[in-house]
């Protein structure tokens, strides 16, 4: 399970979420708490230089700091780019 959290959670908030999942709901599943809406001034960006459009394949992740990763979630699922072929229409 992936839990999207709107800010960095405190130790108390994290324990509360863990308690809810494990003890109250009695779910024995792996889970991750992901911080969203992060407004840090640092900007991380990556390109796939082997792909002519530059966009990394969806599901690719890059470590950008201690316990921090940049995940690419987009519509690119193919390893190779799709070649555009022009067609000439004649009458």
pLDDT tier for residue 59 given thresholds of 50, 70 and 90:
confident
| pTM for the whole structure | 0.41
Cα distances from 74 to residues 44, 60, 62, 71, 77, in angstroms, run 16, 10, 15, 10, 8
* Least confident stretch, 13-17, 28-32, 75-79: 75-79
**Residue entry with tokens 């779910």:** 27
Most confident by average pLDDT, 4-13, 52-61, 70-79: 4-13
Find residue 3's DSSP bridge partners. Answer: 33
């Amino acid at each position: 399970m992936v839990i999207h959290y709107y800010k960095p959670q405190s130790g108390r908030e994290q324990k509360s979420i863990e308690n809810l999942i494990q003890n109250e709901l009695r779910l024995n599943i792996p889970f991750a708490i992901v911080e969203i809406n992060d407004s840090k001034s640092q900007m991380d960006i990556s390109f796939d230089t082997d792909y002519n459009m530059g966009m990394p394949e969806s599901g690719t992740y890059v470590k950008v700091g201690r316990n921090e990763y940049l995940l690419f979630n987009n519509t690119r699922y193919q390893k190779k780019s799709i070649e555009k072929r022009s067609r000439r229409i004649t009458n």
